[in-house]
Amino acid sequence: MARILLLLLWIWPALLQAQPIKIGILTDLSGAMASWGRQSRLGAEIARDEIVKSGGALELIFGDDQLNAKNAVSEFRKLIEFDQVDTVYCEFTPPTVAVAPIAKTKQVLMVYSAAAASPLELSPYLFKSYMNYVDGCRTIGEFWRSQGIKRAGILRLNFESGDLCAQGLKQAYPELIESNYNHDDDLVAQVMLLKSHGVEAVMNVAFEPDLLRMYQALKRLNWRPLVGTQNDAVADAAIERFPGLLEKTTVFGLPQLSEAFLSKVKAHDPENTLASISAAGLAYLHIKQLYAAISGCPKKAVACISEKLSAAPADPEFGFGRWVKRVADFRVSLRTWRAGRAVEQPR
């Protein structure tokens, strides 16, 4: 018995060391935004492979919420209760809003990539990534003003992202014309309302399917105003189906990813079209940050992980400055479309 105890004492530290850090990733892998979720999965897996190659131990466990709040809750509970992940990386506003109260109750640290800022109020262990919609929509509004546009309108999605965008755009256009819609509306009636008010430029910070429906409504009504949106809504389908309308579109987004990272993506997935590629960049960046933070906390205490993550250094390759009050600081990039390609505008 004594020999067994001595053996256990000798191998126990090694057994503990062999336990991998587990990171849960909650995203859409088979629903309306699966193209984004698949890029996120790819970026996370590239990060994992690099960590393992350098001697680390990381396991990724994915949950597919299909951009559905109820699915998100069940998948989140599975990740933290059954899979017992150490932390969660979550994407999109509806799933984030749905799982944030559970993260608060369970004291789980979560980085979420979404427009919504309200979940931050629930727990000191929630960190927000992705774009600043207030700054982004204000920036496009100021760009339109510089081009002589006098009347702007917004197709205001009934999510927090729509509210934030309207708040920013009103800084450039206080008398903003608004037309609200729900995800999956065909948008013809809402677009007709803006047209009837003499709007010259339309903002719509949509998911990709909603932007496509807006373009379809504009085409059906034979109306070609300027369009503003966020960069990740413009993917392959918009480029292929609506080239004329795309030429009138301005987008705000995250900084352009480096050629070095794009090469990594192509090496892992040669068929990748690089649409929605910022998803891969964000997932790669934050998985690396989370792994470093957890590795620096031997007991994996959530307060320690939060402190370590808050101190994550700047990463110029991804345009990441720092965490400011648990919000990722990224420079807003402004682009217009020419001949099917996004062209960065000077700021």
Per-residue pLDDT, averaged over 253-262, amounts to 90
Cα–Cα distance, 108 to 336 (Å, whole number): 40
CA 318 to chain centre: 13
**pLDDT: is 280 or 184 the higher one?**
280
pLDDT (0 to 100) of residue 142: 96
pLDDT (0 to 100) of residue 2: 52
pLDDT band at 222 (very low <50, low <70, confident <90, very high): very high
| pLDDT over 90 percentage in the chain | 81
Cα–Cα distance, 230 to 130 (Å, whole number): 11
Cα–Cα distance, 241 to 98 (Å, whole number): 34
Closest CA to 161 of 96, 90, 76: 96
Whether pLDDT at 338 is above 90: no
For the chain, helix (H) and strand (E) counts, in that order, are 13, 14
* DSSP-based three-state secondary structure for 178: strand
Q: Determine phi and psi for 152, rounding to 5 degrees.
A: -120, 155
pLDDT (0 to 100) of residue 67: 94
Whether pLDDT at 245 is above 70: yes
pLDDT (0 to 100) of residue 18: 59
The CATH code of the domain at 14-130+257-330 is 3.40.50.2300
Q: In the chain, what are the domain boundaries?
A: 14-130+257-330, 133-253
Whether pLDDT at 249 is above 90: yes
73-78 long-range contacts, CB within 8 A, separation 24+ = 73/98, 73/99, 73/102, 75/26, 76/24, 76/26, 76/102, 76/103, 77/102
**pLDDT: is 207 or 38 the higher one?**
38
pLDDT (0 to 100) of residue 15: 44
Q: Which CATH superfamily is domain 133-253 in?
A: Response regulator (3.40.50.2300)
Start-end of H helices in 108-251: 133-146, 160-169, 188-196, 208-220, 236-241, 243-246
pLDDT (0 to 100) of residue 255: 87
Whether pLDDT at 145 is above 50: yes
* DSSP-based three-state secondary structure for 39: helix
Same fold, 14-130+257-330 and 133-253: yes
pLDDT band at 8 (very low <50, low <70, confident <90, very high): very low
**pLDDT: is 15 or 339 the higher one?**
339
10 Å CB burial of residue 269 (0-12, 13-18, 19+) is: middle
Cα–Cα distance, 123 to 74 (Å, whole number): 20
Whether pLDDT at 11 is above 70: no
The order of strands in the sheet holding 327-330 is 58-64, 21-27, 87-91, 110-113, 126-129, 327-330, 320-324
Whether pLDDT at 118 is above 70: yes
Six token digits for residue 114: 């979404």
User: DSSP secondary structure string, 98-113?
Assistant: HHHHHHHHHT--EEEE
pLDDT for 321-337, tens place per residue? 999 999 999 988 899 98
pLDDT band at 340 (very low <50, low <70, confident <90, very high): confident
User: DSSP secondary structure string, 281-344?
Assistant: HHHHHHHHHHHHHHHT-TT--HHHHHHHHHTPPPBGGGTEEEEETTEEEE--EEEEEETTEEEE
